[in-house]
Amino acid sequence: MKLVVLGLSLSSAWGNGHATTFRALLRAFAARGHDVLFLERDMPWYAAHRDEPDPDYCRLALYDSLPALAEWRAEIEGADTVIVGSYVPDGIAVARLVQAWARGTTAFYDIDTPVTLAQLARGACDYVSPEVIPGYDVYCSFTGGPTLRLIEERYAAPAARALYCSVDADRYRPTGAAKRWDLSYLGTYSDDRQPTLERLLIEPARRNPDQRFVVAGPQYPATIQWPANVERIEHLGPADHADFYSASRATLNVTRADMIAAGWSPSVRLFEATACGTPIISDKWPGIEELLIPNAEIVLAEGVADVAAALRRDDLDAIGAAGRARVLAEHTSHHRAAELEAHLHEAAAAKRTPALPA
């Protein structure tokens, strides 16, 4: 298969989880024998933080404006499938061009589905619209569960299919790093995640000054009052993630409000940390128990007392090991690449088959 992907970023993981998601997925997809071209809008904030400018599993090309996409029209026309990702700059206009030029299958890969749907409901989404969704042959969604039916019924997507994030198991594994922190968190600052971070990490740190905590990620306001036992790391590149998780007795998973409401929305960090054998302490949301079994493969927490109890558990390491085994069995990039391939073949077959009259 010849695949063209127009995504937010592949070259830089700075301040976004799209890069690690695309890297794992496309590396595994290419390993299945497919040819991949990734087209990325050249943005200054990514240009200054490119940690994978020359991937060895696909071609990466930068374009500087919407009109510059015309230089890649022949590639888009000749592709078996063209995928447009969420948060692509000028994404609605990009969709119109792709749907006009592509001769093969077209797909939208939404790595932010609950946020997208909330923005669509407000009429405030600038990377996809109700007008272009029906023009995609398949809508691959970060979120599963009931959301898939909603996308088909409310927005007339021909097919909505779950495509969860995944983990590159070759890059995310236990490294043997010495334990430095009792509880860690890795993630870019978000207004709607911050109250949960306060409740499940910062307040436990205040109450347990003898324990060690760390928060890694950019864009946290200077107004946050960090306890003395909370270490701050401004940016942690993907190459350092496995050591970071391996050095944590446990790590925290915090979910955005829209994703909690939708459920069935596992973050890429959830799979990456678990693949490192690190026990996860997570907030609760519908569908999480279908991915990892509570108290056996993951620990769920609502407040300070739950976090304190989790960190005292004698079986914490066993939970980490069980979670790793589950992720390696079901949620690696190789599993997800096979799912993507199946979704694209299904969409191509449906496109070739005339629809029956209602």
Determine the Cα–Cα distance for residues 40 and 307; give it in Å rounded to an integer.
40
Q: What is the pLDDT of residues 164-194, one digit of tens each?
A: 999 999 999 999 999 999 999 999 999 999 9
Q: Could you tell me how far CA 15 lies from the centroid of its own chain?
A: 12
**Average of pLDDT values for 323-350?**
97
**Average of pLDDT values for 26-47?**
94
| pTM, 2 dp | 0.90
Residue from 290, 299, 300, 301 nearest 326 by CA: 290
Residue 241, classed as helix, strand or coil, is: helix
* Residue partners of 170: CB distance under 8 A and separation at least 6: none
Residue 118, classed as helix, strand or coil, is: helix
Q: What is the pLDDT of residues 259-292, one digit of tens each?
A: 999 999 999 999 999 999 999 999 999 999 999 9
**Average of pLDDT values for 109-131?**
96
Q: How confident is the model at residue 47 (pLDDT cuts 50, 70, 90)?
A: confident
pLDDT above 90 for 21? yes
Bin 348: left if φ > 0, else alpha if -120 < ψ < 50, else beta.
alpha
